[in-house]
A and B are shown apart, each in its own frame.
With several copies, the nearest count.
Chain A
Amino acid sequence: MTVRVQTEDFDAGFEISRLHKNRKDIGAVVSFIGLVRDLNDGDAVSQLTLEHYPGMTEKSLTSIINQAMARWSIKDALIIHRVGTLQPSDQIVLVAVSGAHRGEAFAACEFMMDYLKTEAPFWKKEVTPQGEHWVEAKSADDAARERWIK
């Protein structure tokens, strides 16, 4: 299991390969990369700053992986999340899951992203032509998370 919060960029291919390289029990690896778009909710975005809660962030991401591992039969998982100042097209987050079968790997990866979006203490501030503003949480993200509660 890997959890990292960092300012520097990450090599998604290398990180994903660590979940299966030389392992003969992995049949499926599902990964998600989140990136900065230059358009968010209709605003042109020229820059993004990510703040987080050191200490809680790592615990929260570890807890999300543990919940996924308790719920699905997966072998390994990783979350890498960047903080600091980012530009459009920059990578923000990598979530990846390895397991024997694809159905569980897909579910676990999407679950982890939905939980990260609603529980992990990160906050985005956007720079737009109208100035800086904090990004508002989306009810769609809450709805995405609710799907897993049953």
Chain B
Amino acid sequence: MKIKIFYFARLKETLKYSTEDLELPDEPMTILKLKALLAKRSDVWGQMLMGKLKVRAAINHELVDDHAAINHGDEVAFFPPVTGG
């Protein structure tokens, strides 16, 4: 399945990625599994997604938790806790 990922704020800046299209095996996928997969790319990816920093995630513009299921065509986003207002 194909998904689109966006990164924001500290994640975007540190990973030097703002968006990417990703092809994943056609098997059940969750936010946690996706983070673990991306974390294998390098130490900095591991630190950013599975380290001490809190990471929040959205699927199709809705905040979700680690157990949320990801489906073909989804827009996934990773970002730090929000600090607007």
**Contact between A and B in the complex (any CB pair below 8 Å):** yes
**A residues engaging B (CB < 8 A)?**
34, 50-53, 55-56, 59-60, 81, 92-93, 113, 116-125, 134-137
Instruction: Assess whether B85 is in contact with A123, with CB atoms less than 8 Å apart.
Output: no
Give min CB distance, B3 to chain A, whole Å. Answer: 15
Consensus secondary structure, chain A interface: mixed
The contact of B80 among A55, A120, A134, by CB within 8 Å, is A134
A134 to B79, CA, bound (A): 12
A97 to B23, CA, bound (A): 45
B-side contacts of A123, CB under 8 Å: 8-10, 79-80, 82-84
B-side contacts of A119, CB under 8 Å: 63, 82
CB-CB nearest in chain B for A139: B81
A135 to B10, CA, bound (A): 10
CB-CB nearest in chain A for B6: A53
18 A-B residue pairs with CB within 8 Å: A55-B61, A56-B61, A59-B62, A60-B63, A92-B84, A92-B85, A93-B84, A118-B81, A119-B82, A121-B84, A122-B83, A122-B84, A123-B8, A123-B83, A123-B84, A125-B9, A134-B9, A134-B80
Instruction: Assess whether B79 is in contact with A124, with CB atoms less than 8 Å apart.
Output: no
A136 to B10, CA, bound (A): 10
B-side contacts of A60, CB under 8 Å: 61, 63
The interface centre, meaning the residue of B6, B9, B54, B58 with most chain A CB atoms within 10 A of its CB, is B9
A-side contacts of B61, CB under 8 Å: 53, 55-56, 59-60
A116 to B84, CA, bound (A): 7
How many A-B Cβ pairs are below 8 Å?
71
Query: With A55-B61, A137-B54 given, is the CB distance from A117 to B82 under 8 Å?
Result: yes
Instruction: Assess whether B10 is in contact with A120, with CB atoms less than 8 Å apart.
Output: no
A125 to B83, CA, bound (A): 9
Give 7 closest A-B pairs by Cβ, nearest first: A122-B84, A137-B81, A123-B9, A56-B61, A117-B85, A135-B83, A124-B83
Instruction: Assess whether A124 is in contact with B84, with CB atoms less than 8 Å apart.
Output: yes
Instruction: Assess whether B84 is in contact with A50, with CB atoms less than 8 Å apart.
Output: yes
Judge whether B48 is part of the interface by a CB distance below 8 angstroms: no
Give min CB distance, B80 to chain A, whole Å. Answer: 7
